Amino acid sequence: MTPVLVVGAGLTGLFAAALAGRRGARVTLLTEGRGGLEISHGCIDVLASPLSSVELARLPATHPYQLAGVERIHHALDLFREIVAEQHLEYRGSADSTLSLPTAAGHTRSTMLAPLAQSAGALGSQEPFHLAALDHFRDFAADYAAARLRRSGMPVDGVVRLPMPNLPLNRDLYSTDLARLFDQPAWRSETLRAWRPRLAGVRRLGLPAVLGLAHSESARLKAEEHLGIRLFEIPTLPPSVPGLRLERALRHAAFAAGVRLIEGAHAVGLVEATYPGSVSGVVSQTAGGPRPYRADAVILATGGLLHGGLLARARGTVQESVFDLPVAHTSERDDWTADSPFATQPYASFGVRVGGGFRPVDMQARPLFDNLFAAGGLLAGCDRSREGSRQGIDLVSAACAVEEALR
């Protein structure tokens, strides 16, 4: 069994670890903390427009999608759907078309793969729906969202106010509190009985994403059966239940594939003179002192500037946090951000350059190490927010890195 070390436990790292474990590698997943899935909407954005050869041709040659190619992009997305479906989290959609979904702020957003609970609210059919306002839950303003959606031409019939019996009201409730309650059959049944008289004339109902955490699809289907209407979910403020469901599914998939998870310590790259051209692994900076973890291949999935994979230093330098790899960035700090927070941010494209094998390269495009790979938000050559490619790049680059690491 090939020893593989994955550093980082966000979407990229969890997916890479699960894939490598399923292919028979002996995988250690090392992470300083949890990734960013708890603030994620849980959907998979691949590109702002449907994936095609024309759209790919518009991307720079160093873009991760260009390095991967269309076939490997589709393969990575298929693998993702397969893995999470095994954990009872099914996704609908494809990279060839977009789903238009309502948001909690009353806008619409496009994505390509969405959990069934969200894709049931796709707006393409123009089928009327209501939104639900839940008593004592302040993180979803149904009236505000409904008004904005109506102004944009969406068929919102109205807002239904639903009671929430037997809540722990000693503090404000988070979506995760309600989701855990909906996982409990007795509490769910009592709540649905209280809802049913309020839903006369409602055929399709949009709820904040609270219909279960560990057993979400089962909870939603049972709620639909009890109420006799179709339900869909809308993600709300963090902590995001759809993102946590995805994190849970990928963690369980990784554990099922034999992945060993080690959390809580920063990793520093281990490079030894006795192995020129290769990395030996990483050294974990634990409370008990440094501890080395050796591997035949290392996959960096540590994220960008907002997640700790890249570190901004004084005098306009940016440092990769594990192996101190060269980072593509502008040297003037004044040029890192745009004047408007809504404009494209230059720092979003900072990252580590990789070659065709997703191995980090130097400024002359030469591979630095033969067994070191990088994936996800750490990569240069793309602006995932502007392109609408955030989760797609995470999955595709992770799959490509695993494929190359296990050759």
Domain ranges for the chain, please list them: 3-91+244-338+345-405, 104-234
d(CA 52, CA 386): 18
pLDDT at 1: 62
CB burial of 170-205 (b: ≥16 within 10 Å; e: otherwise) equals eeebbbbbbbbbbbeeebbeebbeebeeebeebebb
Q: Which of 8-17, 67-76, 123-132, 256-265 bottoms out in mean pLDDT, i.e. has the lowest? A: 123-132
Q: Cβ distance 210 to 134 under 8 Å?
A: yes
| The Cα angle at residue 390 between residues 388 and 394, in degrees rounded to 5 | 145
Average pLDDT over residues 131-138: 95
Whether 366 contacts 353, CB under 8 Å: no
Going by pLDDT thresholds of 50, 70 and 90, the confidence category of residue 347 is confident
CA distance 296 to 283: 14
Alpha helices for 69-215 (secondary structure H): 70-86, 116-119, 142-151, 175-182, 185-195
Helix H segments across 238-330? 241-256
**Rounded Cα–Cα distance for residues 148 and 107 (Å):** 7
Q: Residue 166 pLDDT more than 70?
A: yes
What pLDDT, on the 0 to 100 scale, is given for residue 333? 82
Same CATH fold assignment for domains 3-91+244-338+345-405 and 104-234: no
Residue 273: pLDDT over 90? no
* Topology at the third CATH level for domain 3-91+244-338+345-405: FAD/NAD(P)-binding domain (3.50.50)
- Predicted confidence at residue 47, as pLDDT, reads 94
The answer to whether 138 and 167 have CB atoms below 8 angstroms apart is: no
CATH domain 104-234 topology:
Rossmann fold (3.40.50)
Average pLDDT over residues 100-107: 96
pLDDT at residue 195 tops 70: yes
C-alpha to C-alpha distance for 21 and 396, rounded to whole angstroms: 17
Write the single-letter amino acid at 290.
P
Mean pLDDT of 174-181: 94
Alpha-carbon gap, residue 253 to 239, rounded angstroms: 22
Q: Please, which pLDDT band fits residue 244 given cuts at 50, 70 and 90?
A: very high
Q: Which has the higher per-residue pLDDT, 317 or 316?
A: 317
> Mean pLDDT, to the nearest integer, of 67-83?
97
For residue 170, pLDDT beyond 80: no
The pLDDT > 70 percentage for the chain reads 100
